[in-house]
Structures are given as C-alpha cells and as structure tokens.
Amino acid sequence: MKDTFKHKGMRNKLADVVSSKGIRNKKVIDAIRTIPRHLFMDSGFEHHAYQDKPFPIAAEQTISQPYTVAFQTELLEVSPNDTILEIGTGSGYQTAVLLHLKAKVFTIERQLELFKKTNLFFKKMGYRPKKFVFGDGYKGMPEHAPFDGIIVTAGAPEVPKALLSQLKIGGRLVIPVGEDDQTMMRITRKSEKEFEREEFGSFRFVPLLEDKN
Ligand code: SAH
C-alpha cells in the first residue's frame, strides 16, 4: 500500500475534524495530519482510515479513534526527549503519534499475534520506539522507570499501582478507568507520595487485561 495525495487530502480533513472537536495542541494536530493511518489497518479498509472512528484490527482489538488518540496525547503534555511508556501498543498508531512528538517511547503489548504484526510493521515503516516488548502492561517497565509520562490505551478497572510508582516527580499518567465505560483520568505525581487526580469525561476502550499467572 502507498501513501498518495488522495490520502493526504483525507488526512488534512481528519486533522481539521479533530481540531474542531477541541484539540488545541498544534503538534498533536500536525501528527494526525502527517501519520498515514490507513497503513496501520489491513488493506481493504482504507476508506475507513480517515473517518474519526475506532476500527477493528487483529486479535479482536481496535485502533483507537483519532480524536481519542489526540485527546490522550494532549493530556500527556509531551516535550521532545520525554520518556513515555505506552501500555497497549495495538496497531502502533498512538506510538507513531508519540514518536512524531519526538518522545522516547517504551511500549508494551500483551497480544502475541498483534505484537508480532506491529513489530514487523514498525521495522518496515522505520518507526523506532526505544523498546517494544511483549508482556503485561500492568507491571509497567520498572527497568526503564521513572517516566515523564505513561499512557494507557485500554480501559483499566482500576489504576495499576506499579504505574504510579514508575512516574517521575512531575510525571503524568493518562488512563481511562472503569469497567463498561471509562472516565479519562490524568494523575500527576506532585511529590514522592502526593498525586493529583483530574477527570476528563467518558470514553469507551477495549479492556486492559491482566495476566494472573
Ligand atoms: N494504541 C492502540 C490501541 C489498541 S487497543 C492503537 O491505537 O492501535 C488496546 C490494546 O491494549 C490492545 O492491543 C490490547 O491487546 C492491549 N492490552 C490489553 N491489556 C493489556 C496489558 N495488560 N498489557 C499490554 N497491552 C494490553
């Protein structure tokens, strides 16, 4: 598959839609305008790629809605060279947005099929996260902590404690919390023991699954 002028045109419109829904951060909008979302989906679904909607990918998972990706990324307040941990790599689209903002990205996916597929795709596209691992995101990545930001792209029944402990002072955790639908939360580490919690409305995500073994 290729990236054509037609795709670029559709992407410009998508960026305008996302912006009209209230996303202010120019670099985030620029990422939506630049990243070829249709290549993150199976061929044949190209016409769906530039609608502001989630879409099914492999292993019963979804590529998040562009507005949701933009919203979470804006809340994360990414600066160049920030170290960002992403839980739920999925198609890799959110990862590409973080890389576009020049973050150092560490990302975890627990579905083996999807992990393998996205790993090949990153190589093919030249997307270079610092680390892409197959594993359980509930545990975070203690060996690379602390992080400037942590983003969870699946609905968590509760906030995993391990993730809070892997934030720098001043670091942000952006996570949708809830069972059927989720409240978008941003938790900022104010000091070693103090965390500020903010809520940003209701969203729907596939569940964050825990490996109990
Ligand atoms: N950012 C992705 C969203 C994919 S949906 C995109 O835009 O494509 C959420 C992803 O989280 C799924 O791929 C799912 O397999 C993964 N996931 C669920 N529970 C997880 C866990 N405990 N650790 C890591 N990934 C998990």
- The residue extents of the domains of the chain are 56-203
Q: Is the pTM of this model over 0.85?
A: yes
What ranges make up the beta strands (E) of 50-194?
55-56, 62-63, 83-87, 104-109, 131-134, 147-152, 167-177, 182-189
For the Cβ of 66 lying below 6 angstroms from any atom of ligand 1, the answer is: no
How high does pLDDT run on average in the chain?
95
Alpha helices (runs of H) in the chain, residue ranges in sequence order = 5-20, 26-34, 46-49, 66-76, 93-100, 112-125, 161-165
For the Cβ of 155 lying below 6 angstroms from any atom of ligand 1, the answer is: no
At 79 the pLDDT is 98
Express each pLDDT in 65-90 by its tens digit.
999 999 999 999 999 999 999 999 99
Q: Which residue reads 């409305």 in tokens?
A: 201
**Gyration radius from the chain CA atoms:** 16
Cα 79 to ligand 1 centre (Å): 23
Q: How far is CA 51 from the centre of its chain?
A: 18
Q: Which residue among 121, 209, 211 is best mutated to probe the pocket of ligand 1, counting the most ligand atoms within 8 A of its Cβ?
A: 209
64 labelled catalytic? yes
C-beta of residue 198 within 8 angstroms of C-beta of residue 186 = yes
Express each pLDDT in 17-45 by its tens digit.
999 999 999 999 999 999 999 999 987 78
Integer Cα distance of 92 and 115 in angstroms: 9
For the Cβ of 61 lying below 6 angstroms from any atom of ligand 1, the answer is: yes
pLDDT tier, 100 (very low <50, low <70, confident <90, very high otherwise): very high
Return the CATH superfamily for domain 56-203. Vaccinia Virus protein VP39 (3.40.50.150)
